Amino acid sequence: MPDPLLEALLEVQAHDLVVDQLRHRRESLAERRSLREVTDEIRRADQQLAAVGARAHELERAQRRLEDEVTTLGAKRSDSERRLYGGGVQAPRELQALSQEVEALARRTRALEDELLELMEAAEPVAAEAAALEARRSELDAEAVRLAVVVSEREAEIDGLLAAEAAARAEASAGISSELLATYEQLRRRLDGVGVARLEGGRCTGCHLALPAVELDAVRRAPPGTIVRHEECGRILVR
């Protein structure tokens, strides 16, 4: 005759096993793994963006420095030209010196403008790289948001199932003594989540071992309501 308490304990265990599976599923969501990968990729993209940004900033600073220098040279040149053509300077040697100065300033300006052009050319691929990285970063952001939504949907779904299992377990365990539940839970922790097993065809369905004839006989003879345990694995046996 089946013992209703032990049948209830088997039901508790069935719910506990479903809970174990649901928790495992919740922890190992493929989308959460993907989200972690995308987050890692975002961090790498940010590092690259920072490096490219620093390079672009450096080029900009160099460009501004050259532009300032060109402006200063331009002012100097205008000043020299004014004196050269202003009529105030008459001495040929002074005029020649001024003319040479104007030429030297023009040469220097041309050289700086060439450098400036090189800098601007060097900045182009850096800007293109930054734009490509920004675009990639936006894509990754969108993907991360999408995955986060999927993860929370899956979690909510699983949490709903977990709540239903918890309610069903509470109902199944209502009539079981706290001592028996405590023993069962202790066994479950120690024995891969299975604390109670049905005895079927002389075998313990927890560890799948056949009980020796003497033990089997003792188990069968135990008075109803006795809690018997499989000597080999320690699990509670349900006759």
Binding site for Zn ion (CB under 5 A): 204, 206-207, 230, 233, 235
Buried b / exposed e across 150-169, counting CB within 10 Å, b at 16+? bbeebeeebeeebeebeebb
Cβ proximity to Zn ion: between 173 and 205 the closer is 205
CB of 224 to Zn ion, least distance (A): 21
Cβ proximity to Zn ion: between 40 and 200 the closer is 200
Return the H-helix or E-strand segment holding 27: helix 4-27
Position of tokens 């046996």? 237
Cβ proximity to Zn ion: between 195 and 206 the closer is 206
Task: For the chain, give the number of residues.
Answer: 239
> Taking the CA of residue 167 as centre, how many other CA atoms within 13 Å lie in the half-sphere pointing to its CB?
6
Cβ proximity to Zn ion: between 172 and 197 the closer is 197
CB of 41 to Zn ion, least distance (A): 48
CB of 144 to Zn ion, least distance (A): 48
Cβ proximity to Zn ion: between 83 and 239 the closer is 239
CB of 202 to Zn ion, least distance (A): 12
Per DSSP, the three-state class of 203 is strand
Per DSSP, the three-state class of 229 is strand
CB of 216 to Zn ion, least distance (A): 12
Cβ proximity to Zn ion: between 66 and 204 the closer is 204
Position of tokens 């040479």? 100
Cα separation, 68 vs 62, in Å, equals 10
CB of 196 to Zn ion, least distance (A): 10
DSSP state, 212?
Answer: P
| Whether the Cβ atoms of residue 129 and residue 58 lie closer than 8 Å to each other | no
